[in-house]
Chain A
Amino acid sequence: MSLLRVENLVTKYGGIPAIKGISFEVREGEIVALIGANGAGKSTTLMTISGALKPSSGKIIFDGKEIQGMPSHEIANLGIMQCPEGRRLFSSMTVEENLLLGYYSRRREGKPGEAMQRVFKLFPRLEERLHQAAGTLSGGERQMLAIGRALMAKPRLLMLDEPSLGLAPKLVETVLDTIKQIRDEGVTILLVEQNARAALSMADRAYALEVGNITLEGTGQELLHDERVIKAYLGGR
């Protein structure tokens, strides 16, 4: 069953369409990757789903409910969490405070201790840095905190925007492994990546986005071996 379905979605930036009527779906328990070059509209797509941008037409259906145009805090409370590009941590606040803010949408369900322990199990480093200001963390730790903060909300759909951006190759691998681990714990994942090879190798299904249109779709493996993808995104012959 599809957890998220996007139908003919159009979002404009100052009158100019950044995405031009795209449709795709994410099924429960999947990792779905959106790949594409800079400016293809990947981030715009995520921002529209999370409500940070308003679509000019089209539908976004989450768990059977139309959510397009809803304010972002209401969408977050439905269980969609976004790790936006650039991490967007609250850098003058401590690691703990950032995590607690992630728990905000679940605050009525009791103490955050259990959610916190789950995050520490994935990212033990965060526990060591608990009382440090987020701005003082290293690049890798910041990414862990950004993902950890989103996980505090126990999301049903986790949307990750360029989680590998700016990380050393070895860290990229760790982060991608963690994403698989998160999926295995039952969180559905929508992943946006410029690092197409990494994204496709772990995705169940993937869509290629080109100047606001979806040009290709298939399983991760299919796209990984598709001539056009190799040519356009994998730097192949």
Chain B
Amino acid sequence: MTTFVQQALNGLTIGMIYALIALGYSMVYGVLKMVNFAHGDLCVLGAMFSLTLLRATGITKGRLNIIEVPLTGTRLVLVLGMVFLGGMLCSTITSLIIERLVYRPLRRASILTVLVSALGVSIALSNAMMLVFGREMKSFPSLLKKQYFTVLGATYSNLQVFIAILTILLLIGLFYLVNKTTLGRCIRAVALDKDMAGLLGINVNRVIVAVFALGASLGAVAGISHAMYYGQTYYLTGYQLMILGWASAVIGGIGDMRGCVIAGLLIGLLEAVGGGYLPILTGGLFGADYRRIFVFLVLIVTLVIKPAGILGKPEVIVKA
């Protein structure tokens, strides 16, 4: 029982990160009907850049990025603000440059051209990160002074609480923005019918830029949370995040934001709970390294039973 609760709590934390990543995929897919494969790398870029900020400001020291004076009070808030806002800004700017230089000229190109270009951008971006930030695995500080709570016998850390609160606040903000504001209405209108949106006076390019900015910002938060949670970041992590984020978006119903959140949490849970029990159930034959099996099993089952995803509508897939 304790194992289950523990793995479920861990799974929810990582699931929230996947949900944030999946939303970036889903929103871009919604307006452009394309898969922005570079999104995973943009998430990592956020983490890489904020680590650079931490080093440049002397908050962390040495190759292990140790914080010598524990951060508390206002200082903690300011550092967290710098880390997250800095990372978001860096990912957003990069994302907008990619949109302008690569995706916009390909707006009317065939879907395959766009797909291959997006993969190319992903490879270019991860290699650029390798050149700029280095090829080694980097340790990333959790920034919070470690504290633990006991929930039903399982351990829950203050970092997990922090990630949960941050994600929930972002989700509330995002759903409010998309459902209740003028920008949100424009985003939905552009996703449904770009030409008609233009006829009503909506600058479609500007809306698309806003979507890329939103996606990259959420992605940076996810990337930084991921780095804080695992205590490390690596220029190739984006590939992993891309697979899991994209799988969540597809399982949830690409283009459907609620579906993405549900699927992200589901995948995080499956991965953690499944990974936790796998060695026990197979007598150690399969270790937790095989946890991704569950993700792809669910992906395959979803594609067979309900190709449009948990909450997706079939016609969206047909239009793609």
Contacts and interface: CB of A to CB of B under 8 A. Distances in A.
- Size category of the B interface is 10 to 19
Contacts of A71: 198, 203
Contacts of A100: 182, 185
Contact of B188 (A82, A88, A90, A149): A90
A101 to B, nearest CB: 5
A76 interface: yes
A93 interface: yes
B contact face: mostly helix, strand, loop, or mixed: helix
Given A52-B195, A90-B192, A105 B201 contact: yes
B5 interface: no
A51 B202 CA distance: 13
Contacts of B189: 90, 93, 101
A154 B192 CA distance: 24
A51 B198 contact: yes
Interface in A165-209: none
A24 interface: no
A105 B197 CA distance: 11
Interface in B134-160: none
Contact of B182 (A84, A90, A91, A104): A104
B218 interface: no
A104 B186 contact: yes
Contact of A102 (B186, B192, B193, B200): B200
A104 B200 CA distance: 7
Given A73-B204, A101-B185, A104-B186, A82 B199 contact: yes
A97 interface: yes
A100 B181 CA distance: 10
B198 A52 contact: yes
A131 interface: no
A50 B198 CA distance: 9
A213 interface: no
Contacts of A101: 185-186, 189, 197, 200, 202
B196 interface: yes
Given A101-B186, A104-B182, A153 B200 contact: yes
Given A50-B199, A73-B201, A90-B188, 19 more contacts: A52-B195, A52-B199, A72-B198, A76-B199, A88-B193, A88-B196, A90-B189, A90-B193, A90-B196, A91-B192, A92-B188, A92-B192, A93-B185, A93-B189, A100-B182, A101-B185, A101-B197, A104-B202, A105-B200
Interface of A: 50-52, 71-73, 76-77, 81-82, 84, 88, 90-93, 97, 100-102, 104-105, 107, 149, 153
